[in-house]
Amino acid sequence: MRKRPENTCCSVIEPTAAEPSHIIRAARRAKALGDPIRVEILQLIAAQDDPLCACDIVDRYGKSQSTISHHLKLLTEAEVVHCQRSGLWRFYKISALGTTLLRILLNPAN
């Protein structure tokens, strides 16, 4: 049996136990930004002064309407965007969480 330097096995600090639901939510939030298309969509939404209609997002990325709808659903469920319905249209705006995440992920300095 080889001895490990400084007995690392016995000096592991236990992290403060986060609830499983928090871990899962964190992963879901990250996963929402884990696709280049969704990063681009979020970037587009972030660039607007006003909430952006879903119909203005389709046709920009060479993907079908159903695919874009799927991506918008994931972004919404992760709460990186907020969605408001108005008649036939759905308008999306970036959330505070989305703004923060996008800034950090796109920052070349990190």
Partner DNA sequence: AGAATACATCGATATTTATCGATCTTTATT
Partner DNA sequence: AATAAAGATCGATAAATATCGATGTATTCT
Closer to DNA by Cβ: residue 26 or 35 = 35
The helix or strand, by DSSP H or E, that contains position 84, with its residue range, turns out to be strand 81-86
Closer to its own copies by Cβ: residue 38 or 68 = 38
Residues in 10-49 at the binding interface with its own copies, rule: CB under 8 A? 11-16, 18, 20, 22-24, 26-36, 38-40, 43-44, 46-49
Determine contact, residues 25/80, Cβ cutoff 8 Å. Answer: no
Determine contact, residues 48/39, Cβ cutoff 8 Å. Answer: no
Q: Does 1 bind its own copies (CB under 8 A)?
A: no
Residues in 56-75 at the binding interface with DNA, rule: CB under 7 A? 58, 62-67, 69-74
Main-chain dihedrals φ then ψ at residue 53, nearest 5 degrees: -70, 140
DSSP for 48-81, please give it: -SS-EEGGGTTTSSS--HHHHHHHHHHHHHTTSE
Please report, as ranges, the residues that interact with its own copies according to CB under 8 A: 2, 4-6, 8-9, 11-16, 18, 20, 22-24, 26-36, 38-40, 43-44, 46-50, 52-53, 55-56, 79, 86-89, 95-97, 100-102, 104-106, 108, 110
